[in-house]
Amino acid sequence: MDVATNTVEVYDSTLRDGAQAEGISYSLDDKLLILRRLDALGVHYVEGGWPNPTNPKDLAFFAAARRLGLRTRVTAFGSTRRASRRPADDPTLATLLKAETSVVCVFGKSWLLHVTEALRIDPAANLELIEDSVAYLVAKGREVIYDAEHFFDGYRDDPAYALSSLLAAQRGGARLVALCDTNGGTLPSEVSRVVAAVAPQLRVPFGIHAHNDSGVAVANTLAAVELGATQVQGTFNGYGERCGNANLCAVLPNLELKLGKTSIGRQRLPELMEFSRFLSEVANVYHDHRQPFVGESAFAHKGGVHIDAMTKNPASYEHCEPAVVGNQRRFLLSDQSGSTTIAGKLARVYPGLDKRDGAVQSLLMEVKRLEHEGYQFEAAEGSFELMARRVLGSYRDRFRLVSYRTIIRRTGLATEDAEAIVKVDVDGQTHHTVGEGDGPVNALDRALRKALQVAFPAINDVRLEDYKVRVLSSSDGTAAKVRVLIESSDGVDVWGTVGVSENIIDASWIALADSLHYKLMKDTLAAPDPMATRQVDTGESGT
């Protein structure tokens, strides 16, 4: 076969293999929404599911997909015929045809263990049913992709038989055969050895379908491509049964940026991160922020030495430009930060601020002090900017706490209600309000908003997006410090704030108050002019 082509087909199984992941279940509308986005992303094949009479959702999906006018080739998935049936009488093949897709993918057995113990048929009969199942579907006008299930395990057990299963599909007229590491237990070195031995014996193109049970699905996929595979099968975000499938969010940029191949095209790579987050939202699972390329932490830098080098040359600690995959570079604040980090974080509001400025050093020491107390600013940049402006004298809080009190009424095992009484000072006037809520924090939030909404109606736009509590020293029992992280949004921006205290209500108050302080600050302040003329302390005399 010709392996000189530079194009690698992308075969996505997010809607079928990905839906087999624990905790993921797509509705019909979800599947159609994801399908349209995969089409816009430029994916060549989208495996829509396994149509059969007991799965009306997938049959409805294929019917709806036909009306969408997509460029991607929607693919129906199923097995070869049963050993006791002729192809024309087999219900699985009949339902594959009923899906009315131009492409079908059928899987068959390549491992004698499955032939003799799962199917319990003669090895020669298994080869026959692979060949005639493929031939029957081809005769019906379908393009057939053959997935050789458990191919690498089968090859390890009996190389000649595993290869013969591929050749049976090839004789039947399969356009492409995919080598599957179904158990996900094969290492890249073995994948390379097996592919190198098998590829010269095929007359049709081959692809790779890798599972991630050993954590090397992406590496196995890339190894196969380097040896001639012209199709990669996987799922976005790596969703799939057990430990998942090869993550196309990592496979595709590696193909384009590292191997010089064309998959969805480099012009579409900047859409990857947004698509990855979109998929997490639809699947209703937490977006893995440590994913390569598309995770929020993929280009986040924390160590002071790293960040100092990054400001001089980003290539020093980044293997590619974040924007190429739709991501962005972030400098994280922590007790490991240096003055370069502080200056970099302040560049948006104080452009040109030198890391040797005395104010930067003061802020750095304050960050380290607060982090020692338990604060964390990585996810609370709203609190950091407020602290910076307060220290630098460019912002004065628009309101000040006088006092608060919370009351919980409880009867038996049930909490009936919570009440908060808040006094705040706004320009010398005390506002005294009461709020009720589902708990003391909710009641505090309502009481504080009630106290401020007349003077600052913009706070009505602020909504709480997330609330997290972490115990910082569990060995201290009920006297332990807690850290509260709050994420807020006004529909335009999203910001995080943090509070730390031995009292969870007090920690919550600090974070809640900062969330509203930040809204008022960002709505009313621009970067202050005095910073443009600050004297920079370089440690040298004269100019």
Collapsing DSSP to helix, strand or coil, 70 comes out as coil
Write down the pLDDT at residue 530. Answer: 41
Helices (H), 199-328: 217-226, 248-253, 272-283, 304-312
Write down the pLDDT at residue 236. Answer: 98
Collapsing DSSP to helix, strand or coil, 230 comes out as coil
**Are the beta carbons of 238 and 244 closer than 8 angstroms?**
yes
Write down the pLDDT at residue 74. Answer: 98
**Are the beta carbons of 513 and 452 closer than 8 angstroms?**
no
Of the candidates 238, 232, 242, 104, the residue with the CA atom closest to the CA atom of residue 173: 104
Residue type, 112: L
Q: What is the DSSP letter of 463?
A: E
Element (H, E) at 169: helix 159-172
CA 84, CA 86: separation in Å to the nearest integer? 7
**Cβ burial, residue 377 (10 Å; 0-12/13-18/19+):** buried
**Are the beta carbons of 320 and 253 closer than 8 angstroms?**
yes
Write down the pLDDT at residue 4. Answer: 47
**Are the beta carbons of 364 and 337 closer than 8 angstroms?**
yes
Write down the pLDDT at residue 369. Answer: 79
Q: What is the DSSP letter of 320?
A: S
Residue type, 89: D
- Could you give the C-alpha distances from 413 to 51, 410, 416, in angstroms and in order? 49, 7, 9
CA 349, CA 346: separation in Å to the nearest integer? 6
What's the CA dihedral at 158, 162, 167, 169 to 10 degrees?
Answer: 150
Element (H, E) at 11: strand 9-12
- Give the count of beta carbons closer than 10 Å to the beta carbon of residue 422: 26
Collapsing DSSP to helix, strand or coil, 375 comes out as coil
Residue type, 339: S
Those residues whose C-beta lies under 8 Å from the C-beta of residue 13, and which sit 6 or more positions away, are: 47, 77, 233, 234, 235, 240, 245
* C-alpha angle 280-286-290 in degrees, rounded to nearest 5: 95
- Give the pairing of strands 143-149 and 176-181: parallel
R_g of the chain computed on alpha carbons: 30
Element (H, E) at 403: strand 400-411
> Which structure tokens are listed for 98?
């009923």
- Could you give the C-alpha distances from 160 to 151, 198, 210, 302, 487, in angstroms and in order? 11, 10, 21, 52, 58
Tell me the residue length of the chain. Answer: 543
121: region left, alpha or beta (phi > 0 left; psi from -120 to 50 alpha): beta
- Give the pairing of strands 300-301 and 330-331: parallel
**Nearest-10 crossing angle of helices 28-41, 272-283:** 170
Write down the pLDDT at residue 526. Answer: 43
Collapsing DSSP to helix, strand or coil, 178 comes out as strand
> Which structure tokens are listed for 240?
């799939």
CA 200, CA 185: separation in Å to the nearest integer? 24
CA 105, CA 145: separation in Å to the nearest integer? 5
- Give the pairing of strands 176-181 and 206-210: parallel
Collapsing DSSP to helix, strand or coil, 41 comes out as helix
Domains delineated in the chain = 11-283 (3.20.20.70), 300-373 (no CATH), 400-524 (3.30.160.270)
Element (H, E) at 48: strand 45-49
- Could you give the C-alpha distances from 27 to 138, 261, 279, in angstroms and in order? 31, 34, 13
Q: What is the largest CA-CA distance in the chain?
A: 94
Write down the pLDDT at residue 536. Answer: 35
**Are the beta carbons of 140 and 97 closer than 8 angstroms?**
yes
CA 334, CA 502: separation in Å to the nearest integer? 21
pLDDT by 10s per residue, the chain, length 543 = 344 469 999 999 999 999 999 999 998 989 999 999 999 999 999 999 999 877 788 889 999 999 999 999 999 999 999 999 999 999 999 999 999 999 999 999 999 999 999 889 999 999 999 999 999 999 999 999 999 999 999 999 999 999 999 999 999 999 999 999 999 999 999 999 999 999 999 999 999 999 999 999 999 999 999 999 999 999 999 999 999 999 999 999 999 999 999 999 999 999 999 899 889 878 878 788 899 999 988 888 776 677 677 777 778 888 999 999 998 877 765 544 555 656 666 666 666 666 677 767 777 777 777 777 877 776 678 888 888 888 777 778 999 999 999 998 776 666 568 999 999 999 999 999 999 988 899 999 999 999 999 999 999 999 988 888 888 765 556 567 888 988 888 888 888 899 999 899 999 999 999 999 999 988 876 434 444 444 333 333 232
